[in-house]
Chain A
Amino acid sequence: MSATAGRRSTLPGFGLTMGLTLTWLSVIILIPLAGLFLKTFELSLDQFWGIVTSRRTLNALKISFGLSFAAALVNLVMGTVIVWALVRYRFPARRLFDAIVDIPFALPTAVAGVALSSLFAQQGWLGAPLAALGIKVAFTPIGIFIAMIFIGIPFVVRTVQPVLIDLDPEIEEAAASLGASRWHTVFRVILPSLIPALLTGFALAFARAIGEYGSVIFIAGNLPNVSEIAPLLIVIRLSEFRYADATAIAVVMLVASFLIIFAVNRLQRWAQTRIPTH
């Protein structure tokens, strides 16, 4: 890694493209984000702590982080089932369902929000039968949970899929021919080699759900302390011109998502050293 700029000096344009890249990056991303952190430094530590630990903020953060974690767990389990079906089995419309997995990525969040809200409303296609069973989804924390599951679907599937496809079939065959039961082979041989990809997918789904706004707010009910997510509280504080409050909540969320991204990078490095690349 001792390479220096311009080693491939025969190609032109390094100075120009790098300069413009850094300028554009600074103007659009770095300066605005730095502004956010600078704004927090205008608060004393006590003020910051007071905002973050106030009952409403704390509850919003608990709801966002707790439900995101639970939704990512569902995505972890269901993502594994989906990826297993898509990679290992042949069934009608398999390619169609493979493509469908990406819809939560592609569908604008506001569209997903109104659609889920309408689907799970009291008179909705799924809301009505669920209401008959005494389960209320829309305008409750369960609604938030459902929306977070929706937006997290692609992450586990798309991170695990290439790893499962590339898995060496001989390992499985060896385990089986040595007398391991299928159950044993799957849980002791295959799943362990998928763990880095599974954890990466889980972390990405978790991070996405924490910050999610559009697909959640329509179905959430948005009752303070009960079904109010942290991003919504930021929007509310902004509309009340309580910029300091909005900023403090944003910084907590930003630091949390940076930690998750850092963990994901570590996971990927770990995966590379664990499984020899071929």
Chain B
Amino acid sequence: MSLQQLTVSAPRVDLRTEPRPMRIVIIATALIFLTVFVVLPLAVVFAQAFSRGVSAYVAALSDPEALSAIRLTLLVATISVGSNLVFGVMAAWAIAKFDFSGKTFLITLVDLPFSVSPVISGLVFVLLFGAQGYFGPWLQGHDIHVLFAVPGITLATIFVTFPFVARALIPLMQEQGTQEEEAAISLGASGLQTFFRVTLPNIKWGLLYGVLLCNARAMGEFGAVSVVSGHIRGETNTMPLLVEILYNEYQFVSSFAIASLLAMLALVTLVAKTVLERRLDEGQLLRDD
């Protein structure tokens, strides 16, 4: 950089920044805060999980109870993400591609689970399907188990992960407009052909983004699932519930071993999310040009 450039650019830099000591104080405060509140808790999970060595870690994860929790979590997440994927695409199609009154209100309703406490998300299903609930006696009469069984856990998980896919798709599809779809239809494509050949390729990264976040929440949900699960060992404990049970029994290595799997899921999700966000931004820039 030449001396001339320096003198030209120097005043501009000076006007928009703080004195050097102030800068250092601000950066240090931010980094110390993030380290204490975010990095250390994350590090503790892995430190505790491996505190008795790798073999204890592996043993904790291959325990039948742990394996059953992992299986249940995968099952519940698959059903919840699958159903919210289908719902999310349909909701986004109706909301983004058409004009109707009450659209803002409908989006607010879709968003509702974000503002409901996880515990309340579980409670509503207890009130519906519990022994004293609205459908409880009928279900008991027909020997159908919803509460304290897989259907209840799945329902509560669908409730809390309801908005993710739809919310990822609606702004993206609104921005893309309807021209390409209209062209496909006018050229004789059917509705489904138009969706799979035209819309889906355009929204695939946004869809993946929504599915990713939905899955992370589905596998990690604790409060709602805790209320409806009944904590039957080896049967209705998901991974987060087993983390709680083992922790309360002072089986710290086992508890943190399962917690470490969930923490890794969170980290992988974050990395993938960052990559996808960059792709989505690039897509937006291309369209803006």
Give the B-binding residues of A (Cβ under 8 A).
1, 3-8, 10-14, 16-18, 20-21, 24-25, 28-33, 35-36, 39, 78, 81-82, 84-86, 88-89, 91, 97, 99-104, 106-119, 124-126, 146, 149-150, 153, 169, 172-173, 176-177, 182, 186, 207, 210-214, 218, 231-232, 234-235, 238, 241, 243, 246-247, 250, 253-254, 257-258, 260-261, 265
Contacts and interface: CB of A to CB of B under 8 A. Distances in A.
A7 B30 contact: no
Interface of B: 12, 15-19, 23, 26-27, 29-31, 33-34, 36-42, 44-45, 48, 83, 87, 90-91, 93-95, 97-101, 106, 108-113, 115-120, 123-128, 130, 132-134, 155, 158-159, 162, 178, 181-182, 185-186, 190-191, 194-195, 216, 219-223, 226-227, 240-241, 243-244, 247, 252, 255-256, 259, 262-263, 265-267, 269-271, 273-274
Contacts of A6: 98
Contacts of A10: 178, 182, 185-186
Given A1-B101, A30-B109, A235-B226, A114 B120 contact: no
Contacts of A110: 220, 222, 240-241, 243-244, 259, 262
A235 B119 contact: yes
B30 A241 contact: no
B125 A32 contact: yes
A95 B23 CA distance: 17
A176 B266 CA distance: 44
Contacts of A109: 118, 220, 222-223, 240
30 contacts: A7-B99, A13-B93, A18-B100, A20-B87, A21-B94, A28-B159, A29-B113, A81-B26, A82-B33, A82-B34, A85-B31, A102-B273, A106-B269, A106-B273, A108-B219, A108-B221, A110-B222, A110-B240, A111-B263, A113-B222, A114-B259, A119-B44, A150-B38, A150-B41, A211-B117, A243-B126, A247-B123, A250-B123, A260-B115, A261-B108
B31 A207 contact: no
A213 B191 contact: no
Contact of A11 (B97, B252, B273): B97
Given A5-B99, A108-B266, A115 B118 contact: no
B178 A234 contact: no
A31 B108 CA distance: 16
Which of B33, B39, B117, B256 gathers most chain A CB within 10 Å? B117
A3 B222 contact: no
B15 A172 contact: yes
A115 B106 CA distance: 38
Given A28-B159, A89-B27, A172-B15, A106 B99 contact: no
Given A29-B162, A88-B16, A109-B223, 7 more contacts: A5-B98, A11-B181, A14-B98, A32-B125, A103-B266, A111-B259, A114-B247
Chain B interface mostly: helix
Contacts of A265: 108
B244 A8 contact: no
B27 A91 contact: yes
Contacts of B255: 114
B259 A35 contact: no
A269 to B, nearest CB: 11
Given A89-B23, A114-B247, A213-B222, A106 B33 contact: no
Contacts of B111: 261
A28 B155 contact: yes
Given A89-B27, A111-B262, A14 B159 contact: no
A173 B16 contact: yes
A81 B259 CA distance: 31
Contacts of B110: 25
A80 to B, nearest CB: 10
B10 to A, nearest CB: 13
A109 B191 CA distance: 41
A156 to B, nearest CB: 12
Nearest to B155: A28
A29 B223 CA distance: 17
Nearest to A1: B101
Given A14-B94, A17-B93, A118-B44, A86 B274 contact: no
A103 B40 CA distance: 12
Contact of B178 (A11, A88, A182): A11
Contacts of A16: 90
B208 to A, nearest CB: 16
A254 B36 CA distance: 32
